Structure 1
Amino acid sequence: MVSVNAGAAWAKHLFPLVGAQGVTAVRVGLAAAIMLAIVRPWRQLPARRDALNLLVYGLMLGCMNLLIYAAFARIPIGVAVAIEVVGPLGVVVLSSRRARDFGWVLLAALGLWLLAPVHEGVPPLDPLGVAYALGAAFCWAMYIVFGKRVSGLNGGQAVAWGMLAAALFTVPVGVAHAGGALLESSVLLGGLAVAVLSSALPYTLEMAALARLPQRVFGILVSAGPAFAALAGFVVLGEMLTFMQWLAIALVIVACGGAAATAK
């Protein structure tokens, strides 16, 4: 969580150069190259039954990155991740189906409602940025579901194949948006740092965690994401949140962690 959110905050510095789509393309493309060079997954091709799951896992990974970076460009990072983390919460609730878990959903909904610009002291949020964050939430949920299905592959193969699939989807989008600016040295060097911090390292660690932990335990740990994101936004970008926004983030964290802790 520290690595991915520090990388996300650093990535926002590159948005004025190549846009959110361009940063996503550089991040995912370089991360895929790093993972392919290290893991060399072609030495052991996945079974046919795993190929479709790997493809969906990679596509969800690519979509999640595109959407959340688009959200970062329009709303504070901490707020965007507070919305995005509803995806893992949905995974927990759908796997439990107990009334108590729906109470956690209501608590998260209260937190999201506090983020709405209808309360005194709450600044307005870009509606498109909120929509992008909600789309990233859905992709994050699918990333967890399909990541769990392929987490049994050895040696980081799932991450390598998934990053390749994500790159084949996101790089053309970034090239279409930013063109040759993606090859500038400042963009490539900054993108390399983001690729390591926000893709190669954390996704490898997440895959190792998914292979060893139940989904509910993983969900408890992931629930702290909005707090890490808000702190990264403050330290790296100077993004200041209001008391109401911090309260909303806290409610979402409690809801996600509580749902994961009490799920069967």
Structure 2
Amino acid sequence: MTAVADAPTVVAPRRSARAGIGMAVGAMLSVQLGLAVAVQLFDTVGPEGAVWLRLVWAGVVLLIVVRPKAASFTRSSLRACIALGVVTGALTMLFMEAVARLPLGTASALEFLGPLSVAVLRGRGAAKLWAAVAATGVLLLTQPWAGAIDPVGVGFALAAAVCWAAYIVLTQRVGDAVPGVQGLAVSLAVSALFATATVGWAVVPRLTAEAVLIGAGLAVLVPLVPFTLELFALRRLTTAAFGTLMSLEPAVALTIGFLVLGQEPGWLPVAGVAFVVAAGIGAERTGARTPD
């Protein structure tokens, strides 16, 4: 663990944890707003096209702005950046395919199984308890017993969950090993290349000037802002606490649906929000990283 990553925790663990939580919540809000914009591109370029535009714009912009220096990387950290890039590209594409087939709240809750697994496997004592509280909240939010859902969409969401678990672990590793956001710049460039090799050939013929411009704005909301915030959050929080905090994402989606789209939740979803908020408070109290 580097001195840069440890410094905030050594000075004030609780303060560092609160800062990390604020960054994580900001990342969730940015993601949800970005998804709302991305849906507008589905008819023109499809879910895969929306992802490709986001990743390409983000990768190009961050490389130009940050200009990573070779001296900042070791062989190990560079491999971690490449792995993070591939995982990020796969995560983004898989989740967008799930959103195209499932309600946003349901897709988010299924994807949350990835961070929840990290919280359970890496947590100790209270961390496992808060993960269980968060899982209860997610069940109340999504109510999977209420009706049938698209099995293909479920498959995409579960695959995205696996990628999200790997993303959390790799993001913390890259954040600790590479100063600033240089590691993120390299990983997003790799994500752009991965997406181009995977779906770019099918998307390019469908591009329009309007779609390209929307994609540029979308890249700011997702992934530039949230991925940067998550990188800094994971320098301040344990992976277990961060994984538990991600349970707030379905609650954020529910809140945005109510405020922006006028979707009134029932009592069970409201209770679910209460559970995940309680888990978030518990993670704040137990989630600060301590020096090795």
Q: Same fold (TM over 0.5)?
A: yes
Asked if the contact 1:96–1:263 (Cα under 8 Å) also holds between the matched residues in 2, the reply is no
TM-score of the aligned structures, taking structure 2 as reference length: 0.77
TM-score of the aligned structures, taking structure 1 as reference length: 0.84
Cα distance change, pair 103–29 in 1 and its aligned pair in 2 (3 A): closer
Q: What number of residue pairs does the alignment pair up?
A: 260
The alpha-carbon deviation at position 73 of structure 1 amounts to 0.7
State the partner residue of 2:190: 165
The alpha-carbon deviation at position 58 of structure 1 amounts to 1.0
What does residue range 130-169 of structure 1 map to in structure 2 within 5 Å? 130-152=154-176, 153-169=178-194
Instruction: Describe the SS at the equivalent of 1:74.
Output: coil
The alpha-carbon deviation at position 42 of structure 1 amounts to 4.1
Asked if the contact 2:138–2:250 (Cα under 8 Å) also holds between the matched residues in 1, the reply is no
Counterpart pick for 2:122 among 95, 114, 119: 95
State the partner residue of 1:210: 234
Structure 1 stretch 227-236 or stretch 7-16: which is displaced more? 227-236
Cα distance change, pair 132–192 in 1 and its aligned pair in 2 (3 A): same
- AA in 2 matched with 1:146: L
- AA in 1 matched with 2:238: P
State the partner residue of 1:26: 53
- Distance in 1, matches of 2:232 and 2:117, equals 22
What does residue range 1-264 of structure 1 map to in structure 2 within 5 Å? 1-42=28-69, 44=71, 46-96=73-123, 98=125, 101=128, 104-105=131-132, 108=135, 111-112=138-139, 115=142, 118=145, 122-152=146-176, 153-182=178-207, 184-234=208-258, 243-244=267-268, 247=271, 251=275
- AA in 2 matched with 1:160: A
- Distance in 1, matches of 2:126 and 2:223, equals 36
Asked if the contact 1:10–1:194 (Cα under 8 Å) also holds between the matched residues in 2, the reply is yes
Asked if the contact 1:62–1:170 (Cα under 8 Å) also holds between the matched residues in 2, the reply is yes
Structure 1 stretch 223-232 or stretch 201-210: which is displaced more? 223-232
- Distance in 2, matches of 1:125 and 1:250, equals 25
The alpha-carbon deviation at position 244 of structure 1 amounts to 4.7
Specify every segment of 5 or more residues in structure 2 that has no aligned partner in the other structure, as ranges.
1-27
Structure 1 stretch 130-139 or stretch 247-256: which is displaced more? 247-256
Q: 1:20-52, CA deviations, whole angstroms, 9 ceiling, x for partnerless residues?
A: 111110001111011101111145452101122
Structure 1 stretch 188-197 or stretch 37-46: which is displaced more? 37-46
The alpha-carbon deviation at position 103 of structure 1 amounts to 8.4
Asked if the contact 1:21–1:173 (Cα under 8 Å) also holds between the matched residues in 2, the reply is no
Asked if the contact 1:55–1:162 (Cα under 8 Å) also holds between the matched residues in 2, the reply is yes
- AA in 1 matched with 2:37: W
Specify every segment of 5 or more residues in structure 1 that has no aligned partner in the other structure, as ranges.
none
The alpha-carbon deviation at position 178 of structure 1 amounts to 2.5
- Distance in 2, matches of 1:99 and 1:208, equals 23
Q: 1:185-241, CA deviations, whole angstroms, 9 ceiling, x for partnerless residues?
A: 111111111110011111111112212333344335433111122333455566666
Where in structure 1 do 4 or more consecutive aligned residues deviate above 6 Å?
none
